[in-house]
Chains A and B, each alone.
Chain A
Amino acid sequence: MVNQLYFWAATAVYAVVIFYLAWLGYKKTRSNADYMLAGRNVHPVILGLSYGATFISTSAIVGFGGYAAKLGMGIIWLVMLNISVGVLIAFIVFGKPTRRIGKRLGALTFPDLLGKVYKSNFMQYVTGLIIIVGMPLYSSAVLIGGGRFIEEVLDVPYLWAIIGLTAITAAYVVFGGLVAVMYTDALQGSLMIFGMSAIMIFTLSAVGGFDGFQSLTDMSHLVPAGLASTGMTGWTSFPELGSATWYTLVTTVIMGVGIGVLAQPQLAVRFMTAKDGKSLNRAIPVGAIFILITTGVAYTMGALTNVYFYNNFGKISTQMTGNIDNIVPLFIDTAMPEWLVVMFVLVLLAAAMSTMSSLFHVMGTAAGHDIWVHVRRARFFPSRMRGSDEDASKLRVNKIGTFVMIAASLGLAFIMPGDIIARATAMFMGLCAAAFLPAYTVAVFVKNPSRLGAIASLLTGSIVWAVWTVFVHKAESSVLRLSEILTGSPSVLDFPWTVVDSLFIALPLSIAALIIGTMIERRRSSAPAEA
């Protein structure tokens, strides 16, 4: 158990600094554009840290750290994709055109960007709708990760842990907008770099230095029979090619999350906050180093927890606790010096709050700016609900939207099952890739993109992803139970389809729909000329 005096003293200092930064954000938020995009003038270092801190949450540290403890170091490929795809390709290939086009069109959110590029309100509404329906999965997973950790380490009841975490984050997101979010992200990101670096050193120390890797290799005979029968070979080796564990690790965890990051609205919006292309270039080293340290440490530590627990308690990590989301918190609590446990609690709080704040902000602006501001003009709403187009009115709508989506995330966190953090994160990222990636890519790289192609891609990607998740991919369909109720079986197809992630089916179909829709639109537009 963490020393309560140290923890509350450190938390008090942390909270004071957070609220000071939030107050600065509040003071600098004079318009709706400030609230949505931090005035499009963010410093590169703050941008890099904010991007990284938003990207890496408790899901990455606690959820995927727990996955590494269960499935081993193969997950290190996710770190590689997080850096190469999530930072290098995202900033260099997608970031610059996103910033430039967003500024030219005056887009304030990710759905707004797609809506304006494709000159389609429908694109904006549906993208906003997918965000407010799908993103609570992820924000709740992050919240659960933070709550579980506080419960484990501070012995605070889970209910109060998630309510407290939500209330503090909500306070600065609702009032300070994106300026407050990014300022606090930068502080939280710095704390994460320092804390995770220290944890790597102490983890190696706890398992006998680099010899710990050899010890982990030598433990391969301890792989549980259930996992060994589905292809797991050890904690320092990849699962058997084509086995169920291989499919889960590669298609859901590594590829699903690794590719899904490219089309995440909360990250794409960061590009639109940069002052110029130079700022994006300068943010790249900060982002790359940040991801390497935070996720690289989390996954390596996760796998090595097996060595520590086996040497000290005679059990592997998954035998120490029934819930893989509790492995990393338990390891930190038992293996780390007291000051580092306090530090890690703050790192986890920082990771949770930085990601949650960005998700809350994106969901709130999707609900407010992208949907309600347009929908309220409909005739069937009474005139007092229609508001005005004044900046202050839109700002108020976005604050209310943010508050409503925060409440929805909190509600979902109460009802989501255990062991859900990493899976819910992967689900959300898969949905983003399937629904948004083709249309987003074409939007930033093609001069006259097809509206029909984009709409077809958006609908096909999201619907196929949902159907495959509910009726085929067993890891989710067996929890959702709709397939079992309707068809009598948790999956309507057989192996290997039951372990192939929804992304791998939905994304190719989404791309195909984009191509077909584009061809139809081109043919339609050229038909009169030919006639």
Chain B
Amino acid sequence: MFGIDDPWILLGYALCFISTAIGVIYGIMKWNEEVD
């Protein structure tokens, strides 16, 4: 994909986007959560 053949590099990029998405979704879902 995009000329990058090594699956470890592609996996690294994919996990970057997935981690960010998790962070955004978590923050939105817990936006008003009072419990520490």
Contacts and interface: CB of A to CB of B under 8 A. Distances in A.
A288 B31 contact: no
Contacts of B32: 278
Nearest to B1: A213
A7 B3 CA distance: 37
Nearest to B22: A88
Contacts of B17: 292
B15 A216 contact: no
Contact of B27 (A96, A213, A216, A285): A285
Contacts of A217: 3-5
Nearest to A99: B36
Nearest to A87: B23
A218 B8 CA distance: 18
A245 interface: no
Contact of A88 (B16, B26, B33): B26
A213 B4 contact: yes
B9 A236 contact: yes
Nearest to B34: A278
B36 A76 contact: no
Given A284-B27, A289-B24, A96 B36 contact: yes
A320 B27 CA distance: 43
Given A100-B36, A278-B33, A77 B5 contact: no
Interface in B5-35: 5-6, 8-9, 12-13, 15-17, 19-20, 22-24, 26-28, 30-35
A452 interface: no
A296 B32 CA distance: 30
A83 B20 contact: yes
Contacts of A76: 9, 12-13, 16
Contacts of B4: 73, 213, 217, 236
Contacts of A484: none
Contact of A211 (B3, B9, B28, B34): B3
A151 interface: no
B3 A215 contact: yes
Interface string A73-110: 11011011001100110001000100110000000000
B33 A237 contact: no
Interface string A252-286: 00000000000000000000000011100111111
A446 B28 CA distance: 29
Given A281-B27, A285-B28, A80 B3 contact: no
Contacts of B9: 73-74, 76, 236-238
Given A80-B15, A285-B28, A210 B8 contact: no
Interface string A120-148: 00000000000000000000000000000
Nearest to B35: A277
Contacts of A236: 3-6, 9
A76 B7 CA distance: 12
A118 to B, nearest CB: 22
B27 to A, nearest CB: 4
Nearest to A303: B9
Contacts of A80: 12, 15-16, 19
Contact of A287 (B2, B23, B31, B35): B23
Contacts of A281: 26-27, 30-31, 33
A485 to B, nearest CB: 40
A281 B26 CA distance: 8
A296 B17 CA distance: 10
A214 B3 contact: yes
A77 B2 contact: no
A209 B12 CA distance: 20
A210 B23 contact: no
Nearest to A72: B9
B16 to A, nearest CB: 5
B9 to A, nearest CB: 5
Contacts of B22: 84, 88, 288
A277 B2 contact: no
Given A76-B9, A77-B8, A296-B16, 17 more contacts: A73-B9, A76-B13, A76-B16, A83-B23, A87-B19, A88-B19, A213-B3, A214-B2, A217-B3, A218-B3, A236-B3, A236-B5, A236-B6, A238-B9, A277-B33, A278-B34, A282-B27
11 contacts: A73-B9, A73-B12, A76-B9, A83-B19, A83-B20, A88-B22, A99-B36, A210-B2, A214-B2, A238-B8, A282-B27
